[in-house]
Structure 1
Amino acid sequence: MGIKRKKVYEEIVDIIMTDIKSGEMKPGDRLPSITDMAKTYQVSSASVREALNSLRVMDIVEVKHGQGSFIKEKMPLGFEQNFEIITRSDIENLLELRKIIEVGSARAASQKAGKEGLRKIRAALDKMWAALENNDLGEQADYEFHISIAEATGNPLLVTLLEDVSETMIRTMKETRRIWLYEEQKSIQKIHNEHELIYEAIQAGDEEEVAKHMYNHLIGVEDVLLEHY
């Protein structure tokens, strides 16, 4: 097996993280523009943009509209540990898995969800709406919504499959919501409406309708993420 070389954007991520850990860059500092960073590192603007996307997903960098990119004031837990960078390939693989598992789970939930199952799905959905009102991204409630659908099927293996990719799911959910919030507030409302339609179809016991809504929702998430990676 040959030695795997790091991609350019991964090397940029390593440089920035090293600068933060060494104290050369501090929480709250504004990063140079993409153009300036590209000149400094002698790389393309696309590589810098990809590096910043990865740092956003890792919760280390935040983008302030009209101001630029900044090091987060509060570093995520475990910052001293090595972070796994989410790549375009990771996103494609994750969404393929989610489409296979979650469309089927939604179908099964529409036939098997009892009162308690529906209550849990509804509670997660209500948490998502509450997060929207509080200007919170609500990615944890989003994950709870999807896992509660798997739980409503009564099949513990479906739940285990989603739990195995839970960390990546939550990180991509957070990134999707950041992108939509950054571009247009209405897009966040749209994603909530999509979840509402999924819940209503499960409640109505409509297999075909819930499969359609879940698939369309996941396709929309995939399109948004891949457009920025």
Structure 2
Amino acid sequence: MSQITVTPARKEKLADTVYGQILSEITSGKFTEGDKLPSEAELSLAFDVSRPVVREALLRLSTDGLVQSRRGIGTFVSTKPSTRLTELADAASLSSYVRSFEPRIVIEVEAARLAALRRSRAHLEAIRQTIDDLNEAIARGELGQFQDIAFHDAIAIAAGNEYFPALLRDLRRPVLETMNIGLELARERAPARRLRVVEEHTRIFNAISIEDSDSAASYMKYHLLQARAAILDAQHLEAGRLHAGRLKHDE
């Protein structure tokens, strides 16, 4: 009789599961900002996983700004995400989706820097058109995620290296997932976040137009960090609402 081959669960998958379970406890209100989480040993016992798996999950939560570890004291909740976050995506998958911002930052920041140095008139027109398209989508009451993606693709193309758009295509699924989650969370406050995105896109475009590579890279990094914060921090959404109110008042 042949033996059954058992493939052990990967540590990364277990860490994603623990990440999601802790996140669910935070979004449900069981733990809120300032609360101390159970110790690594207690979490290990509760989730029936090894302490290294718990440690990896906590590290990811810390990287995402959701918890903060204090040496010799413990781990504390530092950010309260929207209660709707775990309704919009499987909690265990959120860790993977959010991690996609790390390679995006590496790829897109450099792409923006190179685009400022290598762009042609046609590239500038293509980038500018995506901003116009996003504005029109918002005016129609749409979320504009495809116009948003087109903006990032246009900059990757303007970088003058075919690997940049190819790498972004490889990240398309998590990019769409994170974008849809962020837009759904901001829907009730729309078009606040969308208007901020247009502003951020415009700053990046202007820097590329005047061949200011350092500013183009800086604005792109800021833009991506803002997008990540919009998913993980409920207060960020409120800040977006207030920002939009100030814009309207200034008009």
Q: Deviations over 1:110-150 (max 9, x none)?
A: 01010111111111111110111001000001001001100
Tell me: CA distance 1:137–1:50, structure 2 relative to 1, closer, same or farther (3 Å).
closer
Tell me which of 58, 83, 89 is aligned to 1:54. 89
Q: CA deviation at 1:7?
A: 4.7
8 A Cα contact 2:112 2:208, kept in partner: yes
TM-score, normalised relative to structure 2: 0.59
- The 1-side partners of 2:92 and 2:116 are apart by 32
Q: Which residue of the partner structure matches residue 185 of structure 1?
A: 191
Q: Which residue of the partner structure matches residue 150 of structure 1?
A: 156
Q: Which residue of the partner structure matches residue 128 of structure 1?
A: 134
Q: Secondary structure at the match of 2:100?
A: helix
- The 2-side partners of 1:130 and 1:147 are apart by 19
Q: Which residue of the partner structure matches residue 20 of structure 1?
A: none
How many residue pairs get aligned? The number is 166
CA-based RMSD of the aligned residues comes to 2.8
Establish whether residue 114 from structure 1 lines up as the match of residue 149 from structure 2: no
- The 2-side partners of 1:86 and 1:220 are apart by 22
- The 1-side partners of 2:132 and 2:92 are apart by 29
Q: Which residue of the partner structure matches residue 160 of structure 1?
A: 166
Q: Which residue of the partner structure matches residue 21 of structure 1?
A: none
Q: Where does structure 2 lack aligned partners over 5 or more consecutive residues?
A: 1-6, 22-27, 30-80, 235-251
Establish whether residue 198 from structure 1 lines up as the match of residue 204 from structure 2: yes
Instruction: Give 1:54's aligned amino acid.
Output: A
Instruction: Give 2:220's aligned amino acid.
Output: M
Q: CA deviation at 1:227?
A: 2.6
- State the structure with more CA Rg: 2
- The 2-side partners of 1:167 and 1:189 are apart by 24
Q: Where does structure 1 lack aligned partners over 5 or more consecutive residues?
A: 12-33, 36-45, 56-84
Establish whether residue 209 from structure 1 lines up as the match of residue 215 from structure 2: yes
Tell me: CA distance 1:50–1:218, structure 2 relative to 1, closer, same or farther (3 Å).
closer
- The 2-side partners of 1:157 and 1:133 are apart by 34
Tell me: CA distance 1:50–1:9, structure 2 relative to 1, closer, same or farther (3 Å).
farther
Moved more, 185-194 or 148-157: 185-194
Tell me: CA distance 1:144–1:153, structure 2 relative to 1, closer, same or farther (3 Å).
same
TM-score, normalised relative to structure 1: 0.64
- The 2-side partners of 1:7 and 1:133 are apart by 39
- The 2-side partners of 1:9 and 1:182 are apart by 27
- The 2-side partners of 1:9 and 1:101 are apart by 26
- The 1-side partners of 2:139 and 2:86 are apart by 31
Tell me: CA distance 1:50–1:187, structure 2 relative to 1, closer, same or farther (3 Å).
closer
Q: CA deviation at 1:95?
A: 0.5
